[in-house]
Amino acid sequence: MKFGVVVFPGSNCDRDMQDALQNDLNQEVTMLWHKDKDLSMFTTDDCIVLPGGFSYGDYLRCGAIARFSPMMQSVIEFANKGGKVLGVCNGFQVLCEAGLLPGVLLRNANQQFISKNIYIKGLGSNQALKIPIAHGEGRYYADEKTLDALEANGQVIYRYCDENGNINVNANPNGATRNIAGIRNANGNVFGMMPHPERATSEALGNIDGKIILNALLINPDSTLVKTSAELVNF
């Protein structure tokens, strides 16, 4: 499969994502400028990635301006046709602003920017994955009706947990509702998460847990290495 990584003014994790996909996971990657519109080189078997950063300086709400970029109009059409889309951190915020995922990302509960390693796990999995976070507005929020629907449909793909896989308030770094770290849409082709799996794919950095996430969600969901995570996203 091919990957397209969108670059907005203010993106700062686009090259991290490119490097992780291209060099650590051996995937074909094309960088996509926000003012362009052409996605004709991609099929619905491919994936578009919205990376982390501060798109358009995060003026107004995070992701609110990026949602109207020319490329995002094409990404919305691509997703509506069944193409895979992944938004990480700021990319998750953009997906929510664009209406491709429900809910919003609010200011962290402690009102501070947080940058550290945390643990997450997938629904039905006991494996705690160590993944970095770096955000000031990562507190996932939705109304109770939406949250109940996400739970019922298996759309909560990752929750914050401790290193032993326990989901509790002490393991929640930003106050996210129900410890939610990542969700998917009802059709199972659009994913958003606040943690940065692309920062945990290299042996040189001492952590390859991010490979498990990117494999499970996008590349090889039938792999035995990621079977548990793959089952939760129902490919």
Instruction: Scan for tokens 């629907």, then name that residue.
Output: 149
User: Choosing from 47, 89, 96, 161, which is the catalytic residue?
Assistant: 89
Residue 13 a catalytic site member: no
3-class SS of residue 210: helix
Q: Which strands make up the sheet holding 180-184, listed edge to edge? A: 28-33, 2-7, 47-50, 84-88, 190-193, 180-184, 156-161, 114-121, 129-135
User: Choosing from 97, 135, 161, 198, which is the catalytic residue?
Assistant: 198
CA angle, residues 50, 118, 180, in degrees to nearest 5: 65
Residue 135 a catalytic site member: no
Give the list of residues 6+ apart from residue 166 with CB closer than 8 angstroms, or none: none
Nearest Cα to Cα of residue 185 among 234, 133, 138, 140: 234
Residue 89 a catalytic site member: yes
Q: What is the DSSP letter of 8?
A: -
CA within 13 Å, CB half, 168: 6
Active site residues: 89, 196, 198
